[in-house]
Amino acid sequence: MRGGVGTELLKIVIKIEFSPNGNYFFQISTSSPRATADFTTHIYNASTGEEISVIQNSTMPSWIDNQRIVFRKYVKRDSPENGLYIYDITLRSEMKLEGTPVDSYNPEALLGEGKMVFWTDLDKKLWFYDLKSREKKLLVGNAIHGLWASPTQIVFEQIEPCIGREECGMVDYKIQSVSLYDFELGKETESIPELQSIYGAASLYH
């Protein structure tokens, strides 16, 4: 199944992540006792455990800094409101990121640096996004799941199309390799044969 809710429901998001200063944390479980498809991010005060805010119609959250979270908004399949948004926990408001398509997935911010990577589901391309200038740059084609390995490198999954559903099940691609992209060199530099996937991985730089 391509894009839309099909892909997102296949990859259940269960995530707890603290803000850089440790004052807050968010929690999301897209399949939970609350609902079988729970696209809701809950934000808590880390000292008291009090829930301070809720982001509705959200999934794939990532801290940008101590006050802001970037996330994928999902209202319904093919909705023009889908896409990447920033939520401000002080203002309790959200803003759509300019120039990011409705099929943008897995935003990963470099903490405190105003930089982010994400991928688009329909064409399977990995993008860099400058949160200050609102400009985006294509990094690699046939790629998903970018993750910051250092302030100047990301690790990502290089993919290739599946021949038929029997080969890959409900998705339309298979992982070819896990590779590194170097921003200083401006290109993919090497693959990491020891890794088969980075889905669900964590980083010190995020």
The CATH architecture assigned to 4-191 reads: 6 Propeller (2.120)
DSSP E strands, 74-134: 83-88, 93-96, 104-110, 115-120, 125-130
For residues 110-131, average pLDDT: 94
* Cα 65 from Cα 68, distance rounded (Å): 6
Half-sphere exposure at residue 90, Cβ-oriented, CA atoms within 13 angstroms:
5
* Cα 176 from Cα 158, distance rounded (Å): 5
User: Quick check: 85 and 94 in contact, CB under 8 A?
Assistant: yes
Percent of the chain, pLDDT > 70? Answer: 88
User: Quick check: 127 and 117 in contact, CB under 8 A?
Assistant: yes
Tokens representing 101?
């398509």
Among 95-104, 159-168, 188-197, the minimum mean pLDDT is found in 159-168
What is the structure's pLDDT at 155? Answer: 96
* Cα 179 from Cα 189, distance rounded (Å): 8
DSSP 97: P
* Cα 41 from Cα 55, distance rounded (Å): 5
Record the pTM.
0.86
pLDDT per residue as tens digits for the range 157-184: 999 888 766 667 677 788 889 999 999 9
What is the structure's pLDDT at 2? Answer: 33
Among 8-12, 56-60, 64-68, the minimum mean pLDDT is found in 8-12
From residue 31, alpha-carbon distances to 14, 36, 203 in Å are 8, 5, 24
Q: Which of 81-85, 159-163, 188-192 has the highest mean pLDDT?
A: 81-85
The domain ranges of the chain are 4-191
For residues 188-203, average pLDDT: 85
Task: Report whether pLDDT(126) > 80.
Answer: yes
pLDDT per residue as tens digits for the range 4-46: 334 444 456 788 999 999 999 999 987 655 555 678 999 999 9
State the pLDDT confidence band at 153, using cuts at 50, 70 and 90.
very high
What's the N-to-C CA distance of the chain in angstroms?
30
* Cα 138 from Cα 102, distance rounded (Å): 16
